[in-house]
Structure 1
Amino acid sequence: MRVLSRVGCHLCEEALPVVDRVCAERGESYDVADIDADPVLVARYSDLVPVVFVDGVEFATWRVDPAALDAALRRPR
């Protein structure tokens, strides 16, 4: 799982604890990528962060629903 984020993003500050909590409960790992470190990511996702990917598929932008994330992580892979 991956979260695209940026420093100073208030929505990212709200979403990351949700992702952290759900992943901890499910025993899942995730990484956080700062989009400002990659011009391609800035061009694509600048106004959409945070963006959460589950299994490489865009799952959520701006806000993360914990129940929906939990359900997505429960799906067979």
Structure 2
Amino acid sequence: MARMSPLFRRKADPRDRFVTLVRKPGCHLCDDAQAVVEKVCGDLGVPWEQKDITEDRQLHDEYWEQIPVVLVDGRQHTFWRVDEGRLRKELTE
């Protein structure tokens, strides 16, 4: 099946995306990441959730050394520091 050229592809509606912030209590980087996620998702109307790594063994095993972690549509977007412009771009392209 032929892939459509990016020139003809319609941009996805950011409201159809979903962001997950994987964090832990008492983490200042997690607080910083949450502020960025809240701002970008709020601006774009993107639904988001946060998950506590201390309450989910699978998330703990996968991401413990990387938190905070931001997932977009279930795929890892970034970790440690969340860049507002990069997240905004990811959600609007």
Q: Percent identity?
A: 37
Which residue of structure 1 lines up, in the alignment, with residue 23 of structure 2?
5
Q: For the aligned residues, what is the CA RMSD? A: 0.8
Which residue of structure 2 lines up, in the alignment, with residue 26 of structure 1?
44
Indicate the structure with greater helix content.
Answer: 1
Q: Which runs of 5+ in 1 are unaligned?
A: none
Which residue of structure 1 lines up, in the alignment, with residue 61 of structure 2?
43
Q: Which runs of 5+ in 2 are unaligned?
A: 1-18
Once the two structures are superposed, the pairs formed by residues 60-75 of structure 1 within 5 Å of their partners are: 60-75=78-93
Question: 2 CA distance for matches of 1:40 and 1:25?
Answer: 31
Question: 2 CA distance for matches of 1:67 and 1:41?
Answer: 26
Q: Which runs of 4+ in 1 moved over 2 A?
A: none
Residue by residue over 1:5-36, the C-alpha shift from the partner in whole angstroms, topping out at 9 and shown as x without a partner, is 00011110111000100001001110000010
Count of matched residue positions in the alignment of Structure 1 and Structure 2: 75
